[in-house]
Amino acid sequence: MNKNIATGITIVAIILVITLAGVFFQKSPKSNNAENSVTTKTANPNSTLEEATATYKDGVYDVVGDYISPGGAETIGVKLTLENGIITDSEVEVQATREISVEKQTDFSENYKELVIGKNIDDIELTKVSGSSLTPKGFNDAVEKIKTQAQS
């Protein structure tokens, strides 16, 4: 009887481990570059295209995004050009002070554009770019600041 209980507990434990592994190793959405991902925000199905894009003034916006790295606070400069709520151009200025953060921001700056150019600013929320998951947080912070500045 004890051997049957032990076998049952072992089987349940194996099933639990397999289930949890499936949840943790589930793939996130990817762009064309397997190392880059972006989360797409779902638009309000009752809004029209004019409503979604008319809330931002056209122009060039230049801000600093903030984020926390394991070494402490970091910043990244972000310049976006908006036309009808669509990002038509973007530049990133590496402002990190720690060596590893400089490397991550540099990698980010070389590979993020395909994820933002031609996209509605409301749909941008970067999660991982070129192996960096923290620099996109600074970029996203800058995007939120730009959205606030650009609101009509």
Name the pLDDT band for 97 (thresholds 50, 70, 90). Answer: very high
Name the pLDDT band for 145 (thresholds 50, 70, 90). Answer: very high
pLDDT tens-digit map of 4-44: 777 767 776 677 556 555 544 443 333 334 455 544 444 44
Tell whether 32 is covered by a domain: no
Tell whether 5 is covered by a domain: no
Tell whether 30 is covered by a domain: no
Residue 16 burial (10 A CB sphere; 0-12, 13-18, 19+): exposed
Identify which has the larger pLDDT, 25 or 69: 69
Which residues in 60-95 are b (16+ Cβ under 10 Å) and which e? ebebebebebeeeebbbbbebebeebbbeebebebb
Q: What is the DSSP letter of 86?
A: E
Overall domain count for the chain: 1
- Lowest-confidence segment of 16-20, 39-43, 70-74, 97-101 by average pLDDT: 39-43
Check: CB of residue 120 under 8 Å from CB of residue 52.
Answer: yes
- 127-49-92 Cα angle (round to 5): 35
Tell whether 46 is covered by a domain: yes
Tell whether 57 is covered by a domain: yes
For residue 139, what is the domain's CATH number? 3.90.1010
The range of the structural domain enclosing residue 142 comes to 37-150
Tell whether 16 is covered by a domain: no
Taking the C-alpha atoms of residue 53 and residue 120, their distance in angstroms, rounded to an integer, is 8
Identify which has the larger pLDDT, 131 or 152: 131
Tell whether 128 is covered by a domain: yes
Percent of the chain topping pLDDT 70: 70
Taking the C-alpha atoms of residue 16 and residue 146, their distance in angstroms, rounded to an integer, is 45
Tell whether 123 is covered by a domain: yes
Using DSSP's 3-state secondary structure scheme, residue 77 falls into: strand
Taking the C-alpha atoms of residue 82 and residue 53, their distance in angstroms, rounded to an integer, is 10
pLDDT tens-digit map of 43-68: 444 444 444 444 899 999 999 999 99
